[in-house]
């Protein structure tokens, strides 16, 4: 389909070079390492990528990570980056990615997404200036700039222009090759397993439906497109089937199998945040949390919302906003060729504001997948992308002389929209007694809009004799605007030294001391765990970066059993985020010992976190600039040999926290009925090899018994004895055990996520279906 006033294909290289120049202007502070993308980018995603890279460099599988929450099935974690092509490529070529290396990869994907928009605009027959404006707003506007720290969502959106381009060609030609290409790129979107990816998939599906329904012969159009769509769908499904299956099964065992409507609604975009489309810094989203006054905040209370202060940023540049409004007021955005994107934008605004309209209830109840996510405000990513596309389309209409001239009423309407938006911003500042702090961002915003108005006025006459200069002027002003207003700030950039503890080669004293202590205590039976608690937002996943086996970490998805037993929550960056449970009431507890939790690094004296401890209850072994480091002398070895088994009700143990009297070095608790045996003489076990997804143990005993491995239980682990399959047992509430006969034996625990996932699915099949399959 060709854009209104269709243009001949323009030279791609010079326009792409202009885009690269704008990208460099925006990205330079990160690329040179002056700042780094903070918050979730480093606290969560950076360690995941570093673990992936280190595992691959050592020839180990990254499918299980023993370095957070006492063990996680990384292969099933939607945010592990294992199935992210750019991050996987980075991990393959760089065994120890630095903070800057990961930032550069994300920023390159911003450029790739912008290039995809440029290609899409060219394919649509738009003027190059319109394509460039759309690409700039897409990559450097709204959440793509302000929420850089959410790598997965950034990548999901960066793929979308390519998926749409290939899908468009597959529908219009039709073409099996483009159908396959669209299926592959759509699979990359799905592999992100985030809400932005879900929305993008719905956008693609909606585009197919729109193409068929609006065709002159819908039935014929559907039949013509079907082969390419089916082939692309089959290829995409083959790529995503196993990762999605494993994620769904893991979610079912996790702390958040689904999000209820209230939980999802708490992540709604407050309607007042729409004013950030005009005044990006009005509420102080780039600054300290204590000074932020937008909804929700300490100033704007009672919203019931739970979203970050930078989540509602909608600014795509002053000139693009003015172009967008002109297109709306003059009716250009309701033309058949662009109507799909206009309708999609309107629906996504309704989706993003969540519980503030009845529409989100319909989305939540009707659309599959919506109940898996907790923040409809994540749609801001796609809202920014669509708004940028629509602004680019209007710029195309301007430069091809096809945008209708505004009537007097339309010009008044455009002026009122601008004045009304600024009026709302001023009224909000007055209502919350924040006018003093709001004046500077209001003045800066007014300055940029004045410059944008002057630019649009200038190109109106320049395009006659100097169309190239006019297009470059519009792109240049937009690039400068976005670099100034959406560039590095407190929400997207911090000095790299503040997050040095996550550099692979850090000299941080706390990390060095913990590694030294753990290494000194390691033996054939011991692998001491550590806990890092209350040291700050960026610390909890440091174990993934530095190979420290940690009892806690930072991840919104964890084993439901482990969370119930230990009190592990999403993160433990602040001291009061360390929660205790009946089964783990204190660092001096049976479960702490079973976990082998030997060293605890805290940001405050440990008795301030654990109220059951008094000063000196646990010996302090170090005091660093960041932490107090304590030792738990009762921490047990990783591998034990039990000669006796006893029956226990693990659910009751979790509720009461009252353990039966037993010696873990001699007795193992199992849920299965006890099988009395004659007294057995002691045996022993030692670890021969310990890798991410394989643990090799030698055991020897005169009468047999149980080899207990104090690693987290998960049904996808398998165990063999001397190469023959054996029955894995859930032991001591959280851990693994296997019964061994008398003599000397080789026990191998290995992680099999694919076979384990398939076995789970088969186990859940109705008996009649399974019998039919076997026949």
d(CA 736, CA 728): 7
Same domain, 391 and 288: yes
Same domain, 626 and 644: no
Total domain count for the chain? Answer: 3
d(CA 287, CA 298): 14
User: Alpha helices of 330-466 — where are they, by DSSP H?
Assistant: 339-352, 359-366, 380-399, 408-431, 435-465
Same domain, 311 and 403: yes
Which tens digits make up the pLDDT trace of 693-739?
A: 999 999 999 999 999 999 999 999 999 999 999 999 999 999 999 99
End-of-domain residue from the set 467, 494, 521: 494
State the average pLDDT over residues 617-635. Answer: 98
Same domain, 82 and 20: yes
Q: Which residue has the higher pLDDT, 467 or 775?
A: 467
Quick check: is 320 in a domain? Answer: yes
Quick check: is 660 in a domain? Answer: yes
Which tens digits make up the pLDDT trace of 505-532?
A: 999 999 999 999 999 999 999 999 999 9
Average pLDDT, the chain: 95
pLDDT for the residue 464: 87
End-of-domain residue from the set 444, 464, 494: 494
Q: How confident is the model at residue 103 (pLDDT cuts 50, 70, 90)?
A: very high
Which tens digits make up the pLDDT trace of 277-326?
A: 999 999 999 999 899 999 999 999 999 999 999 999 999 999 999 999 99
d(CA 433, CA 103): 38
Quick check: is 499 in a domain? Answer: no
Contact present, 44 and 554 (Cβ < 8 Å): yes
Place of tokens 């219009």: 172
pLDDT for the residue 771: 47
d(CA 218, CA 227): 15
The three-state DSSP-derived secondary structure of 629-682 is: EEECCCCCCCEEEECEEEECCHHHHHHHCCCCCCCCCCEEEECCCCCCCCCCCC
Q: How confident is the model at residue 770 (pLDDT cuts 50, 70, 90)?
A: very low
State the average pLDDT over residues 496-500. Answer: 96
Distances from the Cα of 26 to the Cα of 442, 480, 486, 610, angstroms: 22, 8, 8, 46
Same domain, 264 and 410: yes
End-of-domain residue from the set 631, 661, 683: 631
pLDDT for the residue 9: 85
Nearest to 341 by CA among 375, 384, 311, 312: 384
Which tens digits make up the pLDDT trace of 128-168?
A: 999 999 999 999 999 999 999 999 999 999 999 999 999 99
Share of the chain above pLDDT 70, in %: 97
Same domain, 566 and 670: no
d(CA 543, CA 67): 5
Which tens digits make up the pLDDT trace of 612-624?
A: 999 999 999 999 9
**Buried b / exposed e across 84-105, counting CB within 10 Å, b at 16+?**
bebbbebbeebeebbbbbbbbb
Name 284's Cβ contacts closer than 8 Å, sequence gap at least 6.
Answer: 291, 292, 293, 294, 309, 437, 441
pLDDT for the residue 8: 75
Which tens digits make up the pLDDT trace of 541-564?
A: 999 999 999 999 999 999 999 999
State the average pLDDT over residues 34-39. Answer: 97
In this structure, the number of other CB atoms found within 10 A of the CB of residue 622 comes to: 17
Contact present, 123 and 374 (Cβ < 8 Å): no
Quick check: is 101 in a domain? Answer: yes
pLDDT for the residue 677: 67
In this structure, the number of other CB atoms found within 10 A of the CB of residue 554 comes to: 25
State the average pLDDT over residues 488-515. Answer: 97
Share of the chain above pLDDT 90, in %: 94
Same domain, 488 and 609: no
Same domain, 580 and 650: no
Name 57's Cβ contacts closer than 8 Å, sequence gap at least 6.
Answer: 95, 96
Please tell me whether the peptide bond between 296 and the residue prior to it is cis, using omega within 30 degrees of 0: yes
Quick check: is 6 in a domain? Answer: no
pLDDT for the residue 612: 96
Which domain, by its residues, includes 84?
Answer: 12-494
Same domain, 240 and 389: yes
pLDDT for the residue 255: 87
Same domain, 337 and 304: yes
Query: Residues 256, 147, 240, CA angle at the centre, nearest 5°?
Result: 50
d(CA 569, CA 579): 8
Quick check: is 460 in a domain? Answer: yes
Same domain, 710 and 616: no
d(CA 51, CA 641): 31
Quick check: is 707 in a domain? Answer: yes
d(CA 57, CA 96): 9
Name 4's Cβ contacts closer than 8 Å, sequence gap at least 6.
Answer: 335, 337, 396, 397, 400, 402
Same domain, 478 and 532: no
Q: How confident is the model at residue 674 (pLDDT cuts 50, 70, 90)?
A: low
pLDDT for the residue 675: 67
Query: Residues 356, 358, 362, CA angle at the centre, nearest 5°?
Result: 125
Which tens digits make up the pLDDT trace of 194-208?
A: 999 999 999 999 999
Quick check: is 500 in a domain? Answer: no
């Amino acid at each position: 389909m060709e854009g209104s006033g269709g243009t001949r294909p323009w030279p791609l290289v010079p326009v792409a070079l202009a885009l690269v120049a704008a990208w460099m202007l925006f990205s330079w502070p990160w690329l040179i390492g002056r700042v780094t993308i903070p918050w979730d980018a480093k606290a969560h995603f950076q360690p995941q990528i570093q673990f992936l890279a280190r595992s691959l460099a050592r020839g180990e599988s990254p499918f299980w990570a023993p370095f957070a929450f006492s063990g996680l099935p990384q292969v099933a974690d939607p945010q592990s980056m294992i199935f992210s092509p750019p991050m996987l490529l980075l991990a393959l070529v760089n065994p120890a990615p630095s903070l800057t290396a990961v930032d550069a990869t994300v920023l390159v994907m911003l450029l790739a997404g912008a290039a995809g928009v440029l290609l899409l605009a060219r394919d649509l027959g738009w003027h190059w200036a319109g394509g460039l404006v759309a690409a700039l707003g897409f990559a450097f506007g709204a959440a793509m700039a302000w929420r850089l720290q959410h790598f997965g969502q950034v990548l999901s959106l960066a793929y979308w222009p390519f998926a749409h381009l290939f899908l468009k060609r597959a529908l219009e030609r039709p073409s099996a090759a483009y159908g396959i290409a669209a299926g592959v790129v759509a699979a990359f979107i799905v592999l992100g397993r985030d809400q932005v990816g879900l929305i993008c998939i719905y956008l693609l599906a909606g585009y197919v439906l729109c193409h068929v329904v609006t065709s002159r012969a819908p039935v014929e159009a559907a039949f013509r497109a079907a082969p390419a769509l089916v082939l692309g769908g089959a290829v995409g499904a083959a790529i995503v089937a196993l990762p999605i299956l494993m994620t769904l099964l893991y979610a079912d065992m996790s702390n958040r199998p689904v999000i209820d409507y209230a939980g999802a609604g708490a992540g709604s975009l407050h309607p007042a945040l729409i004013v950030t489309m005009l005044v990006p810094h009005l509420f102080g989203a780039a600054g300290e949390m204590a000074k932020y006054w937008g909804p929700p905040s300490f100033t704007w209370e009672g919203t019931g919302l739970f979203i970050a202060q930078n989540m509602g940023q909608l600014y795509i540049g002053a000139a693009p906003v003015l172009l967008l409004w002109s297109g709306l007021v003059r009716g250009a955005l309701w033309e058949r060729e662009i109507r799909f994107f206009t309708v999609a934008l309107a629906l996504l605004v309704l989706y993003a504001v969540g519980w503030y309209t009845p529409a989100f209830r319909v989305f939540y109840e009707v659309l599959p997948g919506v109940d898996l996510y907790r923040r409809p405000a994540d749609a801001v990513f796609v809202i920014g992308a669509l708004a940028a596309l629509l602004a680019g389309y209007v710029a195309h209409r301007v430069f091809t002389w096809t945008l209708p001239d505004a009537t007097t009423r339309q010009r008044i309407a455009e002026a009122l929209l601008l004045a009304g938006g600024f009026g709302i911003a001023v009224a909000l500042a007055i209502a919350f007694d924040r006018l003093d702090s709001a004046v500077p961002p209001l003045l800066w915003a007014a300055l940029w809009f004045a410059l944008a108005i002057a630019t649009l006025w200038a190109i109106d006459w320049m395009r006659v004799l100097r169309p190239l200069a006019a297009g470059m002027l519009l792109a240049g002003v937009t690039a400068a605007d976005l670099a100034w207003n959406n560039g590095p700030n407190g929400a997207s950039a911090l000095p790299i030294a503040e997050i040095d503890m996550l550099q692979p080669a850090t000299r941080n004293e706390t990390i060095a001391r913990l590694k030294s202590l753990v290494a000194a205590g390691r033996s054939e039976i011991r692998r001491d765990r550590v806990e890092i608690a209350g040291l700050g937002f960026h610390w909890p996943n440091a174990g993934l970066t530095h190979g420290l086996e940690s009892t806690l970490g930072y991840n919104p998805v964890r084993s439901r059993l482990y969370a119930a037993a230990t009190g592990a929550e999403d993160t433990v960056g602040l001291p009061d985020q360390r929660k205790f449970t009946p089964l783990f009431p204190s660092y001096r507890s049976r479960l702490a010992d079973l976990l082998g939790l030997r060293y605890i690094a805290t940001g405050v004296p440990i008795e301030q976190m654990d109220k059951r401890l008094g000063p000196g209850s646990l010996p302090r072994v170090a005091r660093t600039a960041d932490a107090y480091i304590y030792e738990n002398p009762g921490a047990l070895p990783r591998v034990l040999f039990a000669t006796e088994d006893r029956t226990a009700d693990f659910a009751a143990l979790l509720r009461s926290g009252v353990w039966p009297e037993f010696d873990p070095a001699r007795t193992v608790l199992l849920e299965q009925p006890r099988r009395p045996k004659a007294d057995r003489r002691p045996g022993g076990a030692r670890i021969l090899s310990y890798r991410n997804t394989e643990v090799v143990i030698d055991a020897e005993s005169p009468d047999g018994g149980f080899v207990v491995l104090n690693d987290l239980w998960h049904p996808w682990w398998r165990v063999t004895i001397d190469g023959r399959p054996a029955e894995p047992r859930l032991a001591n509430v959280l851990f693994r055990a296997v019964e061994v006969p008398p003599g000397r034996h080789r026990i191998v625990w290995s992680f099999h996520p694919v076979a384990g996932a398939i076995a789970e699915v088969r186990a859940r099949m109705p008996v009649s279906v399974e019998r039919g399959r076997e026949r």
